[in-house]
Structures are given as structure tokens and as C-alpha cells.
Amino acid sequence: MLKSSKGYFLLELLLSLSALLILSLFLLPLLTDLREQSRKLELESKARQLMYEELQTNLINNRTTSNSSSIQNGIKYLIIWYESESTGQKEVCVRVEKNSFLPEVEVCGLLE
């Protein structure tokens, strides 16, 4: 067997690079999926916070319900009010529309 103390053999380098390539082929899709899920959870959390703020200000101030939008951190949140004709309850929904960077998120709650 030949021993060389000058460095790595070409075969060793090719084997280590192929092992890294195989690992990256499995890990990169997982990492991108995790990133997308965390982004969606972050948007849902912020939308839920905006929904509760809107419900709370409506209950405290008893103001009229009108549709509006809010831009925070470069993301446009649409605040939409619905009124049920059968029960007479009002519902607020906060929506982020889907584009190339953001998933579609909608959170709704009833005004009691």
C-alpha cells in the first residue's frame, strides 16, 4: 500500500465531496420547507395580533366597522369586516394575499 504524507489522494477528495453533495441534496429541501413554515407562522401571528387589536378597539370605542389596510415591515395586511345577516354578529378577518414571497394567510374572529 502506498502511503503519502503530502496530502490527500484524489479518490479521498472525490469521496468526501460526493458525500457532502448527497447530504446537501437531502438537507436543502428540508431547510427551505422549514423556512417557509416559519414565515407562515410569523405572518399568522402578526395577523392574529392585528385582528385582536381591531376587535378590542371596536369594543372599547364602539366605532363603525370599515375595511382598511395596514402596512407593517413591508407587508400589507387587509382588515375586512363582515356582518352576518342571520345572527347579526360582526366578524373581522385579517388577510395577507399570496405573492411570490409570501404565502396566503387569513385569520378571522367574531365581535361578541
Tens-digit pLDDT profile for residues 67-97:
888 888 888 999 998 887 777 788 889 999 8
| pTM, full prediction | 0.70
Instruction: Check residue 30 and give its pLDDT.
Output: 94
28 is written with which cell numbers? 436543502
Residues 6+ apart with CB under 8 A from 43: 75, 96, 102, 103, 105
